[in-house]
Amino acid sequence: MKRAKQNEDSKKSDCPCIACVVYCSLWVHPGESVFQYIKKDVELKIPIGFPQPLYDLKKNKITPAGFILGRKLFYDPILSKDYFTSCASCHQRFAAFAHIDHALSHGMLGQFGKRNVPALQNLIWKDAYMADGGINHLDLQPLAPLTSPIEMGESVAGVLEKLRNDSLYPGMFNKAFGSDEINSERLLKSLSQFLALMISSNSPYDKYLEGKMEFSSQELNGLKLFRSKCETCHKEPLFTDNSYRNIGLKPDTSLKDSGRAAITGVNEDKMKFKVPSLRNVEVSYPYMHDGRFRNLKEVMNHYADGKFFTPDFDKSIEKAVGLSEDDKSDLIAFLKTLTDKTFLMDRRFADPAMK
Ligand code: HEC
Ligand code: HEC
């Protein structure tokens, strides 16, 4: 049914690629004809109930060629010093672009970073990135992993040099930006075009809000609990209010991560971390800035037990202290309604090498 509909859509769009009619159902066109991606495929649709994006897309208009270039770059290990680590090595599609099974990120030459890899979604609604908000523009974000010696270990000049000497990239930059010139602005803008479209807004929760799906009584109770105990920080519909909060986690004496304070230098910001979205949280384990909790039950136990380790924790977490076992299960059942299979299986974000 879905496949038939997509084929129908692709016919409607008059895509010049004949094979497109067959391959559109997979979102992937054969070989070089990936450039036949049509405008409709990369159109930004603001989901119902979402606010206006904070990222200014007028300054970086998403085009099929720009998006395709961003996608190739995201999956290409050529961006790293060892030609082995791509953005996608750490940001795995099936985990909503988080990295399951690793508490701490795992970069070049087997080195470990200091933070857990977060899910990538709804990025154009964020005012800052990283668990401490250390980066305030999406276009600048990739510079951190690219140049970090434990992540991709490259220099911007080194990456640009490799791309210029590649057989495919000059042509791709030409299609995306109108000339063969490969510079850092174009590199970062195309990556942002790819990242900007990673929008998750099609979960059962969204369908429930639109009246297209029923919730079980357990999920309904979970939603009720969520709205009374968690909503202050995990604000719907993005499930974050973009603030930094201290939720009383035990400081890790080996990582010595002081959170937001490392950026602001303000003592009160110690152990404050950016409130993460909870969309797709079921598949983006482990949890917290350092991946200390392996599953949602452990997270619920943290809130319910009320053993908060820093005296200046945010008092709104106290509302969740004393959650019963049933409450915890209901909350987890609700959190699982935020798993968006349409997003997780969206072929536009798949590795372009996958046929
Ligand atoms: C070695 C693993 C690794 C690689 C490679 C990597 N990342 Fe990340 N990424 C992370 C970690 C860890 C964080 C969170 C860091 C923090 O909170 O301090 C992150 C954060 C991000 C964020 C911010 C998410 C948010 O909501 O705050 C974006 C966007 C992102 N990465 C994109 C990319 C892109 C694009 C590339 C390739 C150029 C890339 N990453 C390569 C591990 C990696
Ligand atoms: C005071 C604000 C606040 C309240 C209230 C709050 N949280 Fe959080 N939550 C946070 C912050 C901040 C983090 C990230 C901490 C970190 O990275 O170390 C977080 C992390 C999480 C995570 C892990 C997400 C991830 O990807 O790592 C889950 C799940 C979660 N919260 C669920 C809940 C639930 C369920 C409730 C209500 C019972 C709740 N939270 C109440 C601020 C809050």
Lowest mean pLDDT among 100-114, 127-141, 161-175, 289-303: 100-114
Which residue reads 């042509």 in tokens? 171
Residue among 290, 109, 126 at smallest CA distance from 199: 126
CB 133 within 8 Å of CB 260: yes
pLDDT, residue 354, reads 77
The string of pLDDT tens digits covering residues 208-222 is 999 999 999 999 999
Give Cα 129 distance to the centre of its chain: 10
Residues comprising the chain, all counted: 355
Segment 95-124 shows an average pLDDT of 90
* Average pLDDT, rounded, for the chain: 89
What CA–CA distance (Å, rounded) separates 20 from 36?
A: 8
Lowest mean pLDDT among 20-24, 31-35, 137-141, 311-315: 20-24
- 141 falls in which pLDDT band (50, 70, 90)? very high
CB 280 within 8 Å of CB 338: yes
Using most ligand atoms within 8 A of CB, pick from 230, 293, 330, 336 the residue to mutate for ligand 2: 230
Distance 272 CA to ligand 2 centre (A): 11
The atom number, within ligand 2, closest to the CA of 259 reads 18
Which ligand ends up closest to the CA of 148?
A: 1
Give Cα 344 distance to the centre of its chain: 11
Distance 90 CA to ligand 2 centre (A): 22
Q: CB-side exposure of 92: number of CA atoms within 13 Å?
A: 15
Determine how many CB atoms are found less than 10 A away from the CB of residue 322.
11
CB 92 within 8 Å of CB 105: no
- Token couple for 21: 């009619």
- 355 falls in which pLDDT band (50, 70, 90)? low
pLDDT, residue 113, reads 84
- Token couple for 198: 């990673």
What CA–CA distance (Å, rounded) separates 300 from 225?
A: 12
The dihedral sign for the CA sequence 328, 118, 121, 97: negative
